[in-house]
Structure 1
Amino acid sequence: MMEIVGIATIILAAYLGVLSRQFFVQFLMFGYAFATVISIGSVLLEEITYKRYNDWKDVVRLVSYCFLEHFPYRQLHMIWRLQGLWQYLRGDHVWKPLKRKGLASAGWQ
């Protein structure tokens, strides 16, 4: 919820001219770069520590996903959380059954 308030505040400040556009762009770039470096460091530290992947291509794939983690996945995740919160506040307190999709349904044997 705080993330939405923060995003709305930044957008409102930019719209009203209170926030410098140059500062806004620099802030977004720094935030994205910092979060991406933290994610890449986490992936590499996990690989150095536990060596779970036999092929270096798997590690490269994980590192490449670090660039997509903060945009658009984070925003999608925020939308899903808000949908769940809205359903809960409306009184929907039960888990709905999910149709499972596994490797067998994708044609893998």
Structure 2
Amino acid sequence: MLLCEVAAELEDGARSRVDARPLRPDGARPVRRASGVVAVVDDDVLVRLVRRRLGWHRGLLDTLWSHRDAILRPRYRGMAFGGLGLFTAVEAVGPIIDALGLVALVAGLSLGLVHHEFALLYFALAYLWGITLSLGALALEDRATGSELRVRDRVWQVVAACSEPLWYRQLSLWWRLRGTWRWLRGGERTWGTMTRSGFTGSGR
């Protein structure tokens, strides 16, 4: 029953947020495929991206807190460890650990406690590992969905994958920390105005 309750909450939240099929340039709607990739079209992309990211993180923390008694409890088996436990460790606690790590790194470099050449090498390896995962995910998604993207769009995907570790990851960390802070403070649970464009009809 607990698994069904959690799944229902996630499904209801997903249904209320997006219809994940963007229009093609010719105005036709692509066929729905079995894919976890979601495209969201907004008028004011950055503002609504921030608002949505804050809402997602607060919703995640709400769900984890509601089912905290099941986290890491053997009676709930895989969901306790691979589901709730994983999201707690990576998504809920992860941003705090990331932020503390960045603060410790800056302090260590400033005080001479961290070897600069070692730090640069570690950064290079982490960067290469990150873009390898991103490019691999793009390749798998393309093969799984039979994507018909234009060459220009593929180039932009590669550019985004290669630049994302340098700026978007830090922005995402900041948004997740803000979401955590707002969740701790409580207050009204609202997504605000989410005006979308680019979809027509019900999409069914």
What is the CA deviation profile of residues 65-97 of structure 1, one whole-angstrom value per residue up to 9, with x for unaligned ones? 101221211111111111111111112241142
User: Separation in 2 of the partners of 1:81 and 1:19?
Assistant: 27
2-structure distance, mates of 1:34, 1:64: 15
The number of equivalent residue pairs is 104
Cα distance change, pair 101–32 in 1 and its aligned pair in 2 (3 A): same
Distance 1:55 1:16, change over 3 A: same
C-alpha distance in structure 2 between counterparts of 1:30 and 1:54, whole Å: 30
Q: Are the aligned partners of 1:53 and 1:59 in contact in 2 as well (CA < 8 Å)?
A: no
CA distance in 2 between counterparts of 1:45 and 1:18 reads 41
Identity %: 24
* Residue 2 of structure 1, CA deviation: 1.0
- Structure 1, unmatched stretches of 5+, are 105-109
1:3 is aligned, of 80, 98, 103, to 98
Normalized against structure 2, the TM-score is what?
A: 0.46
Change (3 A) 1:54 1:78: closer
Structure with the greater relative contact order (CA < 8 A, sep ≥ 6): 1 or 2?
A: 2
- 2:169 aligned with 1:80: no
Aligned partner of 1:35 in structure 2 is 130
Match of residue 62 from structure 1: 157
Matched, 1:98 2:198: no
**In 2, Cα distance between equivalents of 1:54 and 1:89:** 42
| TM-score, structure 1 as length reference | 0.81
Q: Is the 8 A contact 1:39 1:66 kept in 2?
A: yes
Unaligned stretches of 5+ residues in structure 2: 1-95, 200-204
- Structure 1 equivalent of residue 108 of structure 2: 13
Q: Describe the SS at the equivalent of 2:197.
A: coil
